[in-house]
Structure 1
Amino acid sequence: MAPDEALARVRDLADDLVRRRSVRDFASTPVPEGVLDEAIRAAASAPSGAHVQPWRFVLVEDPAVRRRLREAAETEEREFYERRASEEWLDALGPLGTDATKPFLTDAPALIVVFEVHQGPSSPRPYYVKESVGIAVGLLLAALHRAGLSTLTHTPSPMKFLNEILGRPAEERGFLVVPVGYPAPDATVPDLERKPLDEVRVRIVEQ
Structure 2
Amino acid sequence: MRDVTSTMDDVRHVLANWPLPPEGGWTADDLDLLPQDGPQGELDLFKRVELVDGALVLMSPQKLFHESVIIGLRNALRAQAPERFSAVSQMDIKIASRQRPCPDVLVVDTAATTDWNRTAFTPREVHLVIEVVSPESEHRDNHVKPRIYAEAGIEHFWIVKDEDSRPVIHTYELDEAVASYVCTGIHRDHLKVSVPFPIDIEFDTLH
TM-score, structure 2 as length reference: 0.25
Based on CA coordinates, which of the two structures has the bigger radius of gyration? 1
Identify the structure with the greater helix proportion.
1
The structure showing larger relative contact order (alpha-carbon pairs under 8 Å, at least 6 residues apart) is 1
